[in-house]
Amino acid sequence: MIRRSALPLLTITISLAGCAAVSPTADTVPQLTAPEEFSGNLPPSGLDDYWWKGFADPVLDQLILQGLESNLEIDAAQDRLRAAAALLRAEKADRLPSLDGSAQVDIATGSGPSDSATAGLFGEFDPDLSGRLSAEVELAAAEYAESEYLLADRRRIVAAAIASQYIEYRRTGAQLALLDESTSLQEQTLRIVTLRYQAGLAANLDVRRAASDLARTRAGRGLIEISRSEALNALAVLLGREPGIFDPGSAEDQAAEQEVAEDSGLHAIPAYSTGPALGGPTDLLRRRGDVIAAEMRLAQSAAQIGIERSDLMPSLTFPAQLVIGDGSVSGLFSDMVARLGAALNLPLFDGGRRRAEITAAEAQAQASLAEYQRTFLMALGEVENSLVAIGAYSDRGDALEEAIMESESALAQSDALYREGLASLFDVLDAQRQLISSRQSLLDNRASLASAHIALHLAAASPE
> Is 5 within a domain?
no
> Is 6 within a domain?
no
Alpha carbon separation from 215 to 191, 204, 427 (Å, rounded) = 14, 17, 19
> Is 1 within a domain?
no
> Is 168 within a domain?
yes
**pLDDT for position 21:** 37
> Is 17 within a domain?
no
> Is 286 within a domain?
yes
> Is 115 within a domain?
no
Digitized pLDDT (tens) for each residue of the chain, 464 residues in all = 444 443 343 333 333 333 333 344 444 556 678 888 888 888 888 777 899 999 999 989 999 999 999 999 999 999 999 999 999 999 999 999 999 988 777 776 666 556 677 778 899 999 999 999 999 999 999 999 999 999 999 999 999 999 999 999 999 999 999 899 889 888 988 898 898 888 888 888 888 988 998 899 899 999 999 999 999 999 999 999 988 876 633 434 444 444 544 444 555 789 998 888 888 888 888 899 999 999 999 999 999 999 999 999 999 999 998 887 766 656 666 677 888 889 999 999 989 999 999 999 999 999 999 999 999 999 999 999 999 999 999 999 999 999 999 988 988 998 888 788 888 877 888 888 888 889 999 999 999 999 999 999 999 988 76
Domain count, the chain: 1
List of residues 6+ apart from 228 with CB closer than 8 A: 169, 172, 173, 176
Please name which of 57, 65, 59 lies closest in space to residue 251, comparing C-alpha atoms.
Answer: 59
Sort residue 102 into left (φ over 0), alpha (ψ -120 to 50) or beta.
Answer: beta
How far apart, in whole angstroms, are the C-alpha atoms of residue 98 and residue 238?
Answer: 46
**pLDDT for position 155:** 95
Domain that holds residue 248: 40-97+131-312+358-460
Specify the pTM: 0.83
Please name which of 84, 94, 99, 100 lies closest in space to residue 130, comparing C-alpha atoms.
Answer: 94
**pLDDT for position 260:** 45
Q: Residue 77 belongs to a domain with what CATH number? A: 1.20.1600.10
> Is 351 within a domain?
no
